[in-house]
């Protein structure tokens, strides 16, 4: 059997280069020009496009895509290792072509798009010539597709879309919207008549579709296949969120440890206080448990499919939220008053915690999924007693050794004595 926890030396060299590149080239741009990596401003593009070309020259562009689609074909495991670095540096995912929500949209376009759809939208998305958004969640139904009301009706050579979507992240800036209707997912280009932008929540836009007409060839995948496509997309999205959470937890732990060794309280550095030591120990243990779960899940996807790894993906989704909450709280607490300001990254990292519990479906729904899938591999016991009912197990053991006990009265007496002691009333 193969069981390995190491990273190939060649890929580790690439990861080391990525970390240095992010610190030296990307962080300074993020600090002075936030959002530059996705900006259409010529001056911002002049800053970021050379960095993107450097990534392409290193063979690390769009790492999640197969070779025939323009990526290196490294798979989810290497993407997880790369995301441990990228997700600690603001716009690094954009510079490396692994930014959401485009990654998920590219995946379903690659898997289910027609050749014409790929030429028109997938390849420009890969090259960041255009940007995309996923328009699924609805105000009255959240992320439950059985409650969605958005419809698409065929009229002649067009589909007519009507409905309302909430939390269409980065929708206003997107060139194309992948709109989930009751009967499929449809591609709507920005500026199509009938697309009405309402007051959203920051980058999470609210949009109404009023008799929006798109050609018949704007249906992605089969008619009626929207839920199947959405699950494929969201499955990949959830593991990618978990990958980025691993990075956030590592960054918080790095900050905690540096703080613990630098700050003094009650006559000694706070790293010498046992309460601080406990917080670091618990955080470090949780971080590594989450990291191994995410890497195992990524490995499973590479060796089977997202569908086969759906229980593990659900575990990643629920676990990463819980662990991020614990570690971020400890880090902020250790920083004291500084931790509750916006002078370090901690407040922004903490603010994302509630979102982790509900995005791509609330944790409670995914825990139900985990439980149902786990229970499929078990059977109820027969009769009144569980299979681990010790008196019954002892009787079976006595039957196994019946001949030995019959031939050796001393052993038989020892068994009887032990059994009597087990059932003796404790006074």
If asked whether residues 38 and 92 sit together in one domain, one would say: yes
Length, in residues, of the chain: 427
The CATH number assigned to the domain holding 192 equals: 2.40.110.10
Q: Taking the CB of residue 404, how many other CB atoms lie within 10 A of it?
A: 12
If asked whether residues 209 and 236 sit together in one domain, one would say: no
If asked whether residues 240 and 214 sit together in one domain, one would say: no
The CATH number assigned to the domain holding 364 equals: 1.20.140.10
168, part of any domain: yes
If asked whether residues 161 and 275 sit together in one domain, one would say: no
191, part of any domain: yes
The CATH number assigned to the domain holding 25 equals: 1.10.540.10
**Range of 401's domain?**
390-417
Picking from 83, 113, 143, the residue at the C-terminal end of a domain is 113
> Which pLDDT belongs to residue 281?
98
294, part of any domain: yes
Burial of 219 (0-12, 13-18, 19+ CB in 10 A): buried
If asked whether residues 258 and 325 sit together in one domain, one would say: yes
Q: What is the pLDDT along the chain (427 residues), one digit of tens a residue?
A: 677 888 999 999 999 999 999 999 999 999 999 999 999 999 999 999 999 999 999 989 988 777 776 667 788 899 999 999 999 999 999 999 988 889 889 888 988 899 999 999 999 999 999 999 999 989 987 777 788 899 999 999 999 999 999 989 999 999 999 999 999 999 999 999 999 999 888 889 999 999 999 999 999 988 887 777 776 666 667 888 899 999 999 999 999 999 999 999 999 999 999 999 999 999 999 999 999 999 999 999 989 888 889 999 999 999 999 999 999 999 999 999 999 999 999 999 999 999 889 888 889 989 999 999 999 999 999 999 999 998 899 999 999 999 999 999 999 899 888 888 877 655 4
If asked whether residues 145 and 108 sit together in one domain, one would say: no
If asked whether residues 250 and 305 sit together in one domain, one would say: yes
Query: Which are the contacts of 135, defined by CB distance < 8 A and separation ≥ 6?
Result: 165, 168, 171, 177, 178, 179, 180, 188, 207
Query: Which are the contacts of 407, defined by CB distance < 8 A and separation ≥ 6?
Result: none
If asked whether residues 328 and 258 sit together in one domain, one would say: yes
> Which pLDDT belongs to residue 69?
67
If asked whether residues 215 and 81 sit together in one domain, one would say: no
122, part of any domain: no
If asked whether residues 242 and 361 sit together in one domain, one would say: yes
Residue from 109, 131, 137 nearest 39 by CA: 131
Picking from 54, 82, 113, the residue at the C-terminal end of a domain is 113
Residue from 238, 250, 235 nearest 84 by CA: 250
351, part of any domain: yes
**For the whole model, what pTM was predicted?**
0.87
> Which pLDDT belongs to residue 398?
92
125, part of any domain: no
> Which pLDDT belongs to residue 427?
43
If asked whether residues 343 and 402 sit together in one domain, one would say: no
If asked whether residues 31 and 61 sit together in one domain, one would say: yes
E strands present in 71-215: 132-135, 151-155, 158-169, 176-181, 184-189, 195-201, 204-215
124, part of any domain: no
The total domain count for the chain is 4
126, part of any domain: no
């Amino acid at each position: 059997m193969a069981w390995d926890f190491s990273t190939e030396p060649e890929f580790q060299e690439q990861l080391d280069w990525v970390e240095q590149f992010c610190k030296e080239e990307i962080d300074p741009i993020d600090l002075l020009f936030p959002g530059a990596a996705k900006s259409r401003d010529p001056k911002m593009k002049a800053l970021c496009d050379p960095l993107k070309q450097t990534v392409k020259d290193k063979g690390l562009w769009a790492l999640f895509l197969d070779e025939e689609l323009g990526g290196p074909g490294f798979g989810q495991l290497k993407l997880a290792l790369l995301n441990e670095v990228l997700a600690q540096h603001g716009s690094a995912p954009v510079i490396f072509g692994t930014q959401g929500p485009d990654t998920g949209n590219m995946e379903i376009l690659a898997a289910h798009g027609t050749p014409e759809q790929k030429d028109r939208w997938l390849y420009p998305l890969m090259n960041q010539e255009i940007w995309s958004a996923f328009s699924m969640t609805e105000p009255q139904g959240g992320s439950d597709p059985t409650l969605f009301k958005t419809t698409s009706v065929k009229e002649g050579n067009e589909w007519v879309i009507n409905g309302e979507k909430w939390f269409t992240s980065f929708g206003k800036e997107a060139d194309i919207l992948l709109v989930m209707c009751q009967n499929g997912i449809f591609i709507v280009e920005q500026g199509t008549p009938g697309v009405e932008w309402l007051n959203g929540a920051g980058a999470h836009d609210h949009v109404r579709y009023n008799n929006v007409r798109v050609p018949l060839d704007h249906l992605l995948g089969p008619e009626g296949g929207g839920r199947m496509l959405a699950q494929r997309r969201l499955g990949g999205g959830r593991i990618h969120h978990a990958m980025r959470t691993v990075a956030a937890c590592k960054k918080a732990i790095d900050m905690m440890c540096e703080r613990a060794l630098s700050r003094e309280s009650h006559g000694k550095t706070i790293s010498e206080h046992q309460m601080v030591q406990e917080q670091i120990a618990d955080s470090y243990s949780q971080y590594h448990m989450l990291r191994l779960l995410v890497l195992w899940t990524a490995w499973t996807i590479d060796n089977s499919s997202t569908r086969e790894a759906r229980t593990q993906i659900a575990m990643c989704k629920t676990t990463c939220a819980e662990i991020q909450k614990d570690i971020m709280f400890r880090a902020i607490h250790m920083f004291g008053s500084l931790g509750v300001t916006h002078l370090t990254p901690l407040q922004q990292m903490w603010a994302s915690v509630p979102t982790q519990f509900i995005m791509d479906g609330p944790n409670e729904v995914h825990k139900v999924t985990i439980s149902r899938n786990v229970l499929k591999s078990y059977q109820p016991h027969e009769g009144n007693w569980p299979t681990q009912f010790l008196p019954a197990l002892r009787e079976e053991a006595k039957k196994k050794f019946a001949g030995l006990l019959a031939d050796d009265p001393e052993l038989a007496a020892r068994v009887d004595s032990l059994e009597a002691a087990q059932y003796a009333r404790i006074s």
